[in-house]
Structure 1
């Protein structure tokens, strides 16, 4: 039994006439009559009484009609579900991000745009440091992740879609002597200061970038206090436990005890990328990429 048999049957049942049903379906009457006879043979009983000016349902036909309609409706639902899945309108997106990346406006705007554009996709968010995110991507436990890649990041199974770099700023306790300066400051001004930094394992690429630029300025940062995570750095600077270097997006955390100053000359750079598994083919992931690309225009 084919779907076309059911469509033909429903048309004749609703029109009560083979000629009108044939016109509605866009086929000739003889082929329609033959298809109905084929259906009746498969069912094993007559579904219509042929009368001089049309066709009437038999008791079997009356029982068959609601089931035929339900089958056609289910087939349309199945087709619609397949189309939505192919377009990435349904499904699941497992998206990771680092603690510092979550403050970047591009990341939050991409998540918001994706949720608005594809509200029926189940969105699973996970925060951890970049290396752990890359490991999960390699195991296909995540579909994508916003990470802070190092300059030498090389993961053969991962594609990195570079996003705009982000400048970094000097974070100072509000009563620090340098905080009185209203202009940009040289990095070398921090040479004798105690730093508040997160452990290297929490933000490897940012940590290495800070150490690198301090080395270029002629000193190695003296870590006086480690912060348990990236967002805690600003709180500890505000508490007067040291100075730090933070991404410009984290500087949106406006605490009373901390001020931010730009660097004179070249500022340290925080890289940002959308990482995706090379082996993954997903319409849902394609839609996320579309969101990110639109935000970059």
Structure 2
């Protein structure tokens, strides 16, 4: 038995006329009658009573009509779901990001572009540090992640640069250098620093330390904070200064001033990492669209 047999039977049952059903199906009436007879032989049950003035469904035919409609409807739904998944228009996508990236407009821009284009896809957002995001990518817990270098993913993955932004000095509003138009790294030699713990944010941590050492000193770390927003709050409270991605100036915290750096200065880099050959079309669409939107 094939699906076409069910479609033929439903057409005849709904038209209650072989000639009209054949015209509806676009086939000849004799082949249609033969197909119905073949179906009845396979079922070993008559589906129609052949009457002098037409046909009528048997009890078996009425039940088979109900079941056939259900099967055809389920088949149509299955085909539709497969098409949507195959085009990446439904399903699930998990997107990871670091806490420092959430303040950059690129992340919001990328997420908005994807949600606008694929509103039927369920998007799960997961925040983590670079180490946890790398692990989630490897295990498939996230499909794509915005994360900071350095990291190592292996040949099955790829990372594309989407953000390259300067870093600013964050100072308490009452700091003596807060009125300066710009600062140098060397001028921060005697300051207390508030930074990410290295195990959580090794990328920015190592970038800052390397830049300070190039300027001739090792920064004195007075306080660590696990979130970029927490760092800004601690700066406002007078615990020290910090070097933060320029996008952090969007965090409106009272008591903090942001100043640019003159001369050699570190950069905050953000990559979009993903599996090269994801089985999910939705994930592949997310990579393509978000890479373009984030870089725009």
Whether TM-score is above 0.5 comes out as yes
Residue 196 of structure 2 corresponds to residue 198 of structure 1:
yes
- The aligned counterpart of 1:162 is 161
Other structure's SS at 1:200 match: coil
In the other structure, the counterpart of 2:72 is: 72
Supply the distance in 1 between the matched residues of 2:157 and 2:134 (Cα, whole angstroms). Answer: 8
CA-CA distance at 1:154 after TM superposition: 6.2
TM-superposition CA deviations, 1:168-221 (whole Å, max 9, x none): 11101101111112x222222212211111111111011111112112222221
Task: For residue 161 of structure 2, give the secondary structure of its aligned residue in structure 1.
Answer: strand
Give unmatched runs, 5+ long, in structure 2: none
Instruction: Measure how far apart 1:288 and its partner are.
Output: 1.0
| CA displacement at 1:231 relative to structure 2 | 2.1
| Contact 2:162–2:291 (Cα < 8 Å) also in 1 | no
CA RMSD between the two structures: 2.0
Q: TM-score, normalised by structure 1?
A: 0.91
Find the aligned partners of 1:117 and 1:283 in 2 and give their Cα distance: 14
Structure 1 alignment gaps of length 5 or more: none
**Do the aligned residues in 2 keep the contact of 1:138 with 1:157 (CA within 8 Å)?**
no
The answer to whether the 8 Å contact 2:278/2:284 transfers is no
Matched residue, 2:121: 121
Residue 153 of structure 1: CA displacement?
4.8
Partner residue, 2:245: 247
Counterpart mapping for 1:1-297 below 5 A: 1-51=1-51, 54-150=54-150, 153=152, 155-181=154-180, 183-278=181-276, 280-295=278-293, 296-297=295-296
Residues 203 and 230, structure 1, Cα contact 8 Å, conserved in 2: no
CA distance in 1 between counterparts of 2:236 and 2:129 reads 24
1:169–1:247 CA contact under 8 A, matched in 2? yes
Bigger shift: residues 57-66 or 115-124: 115-124
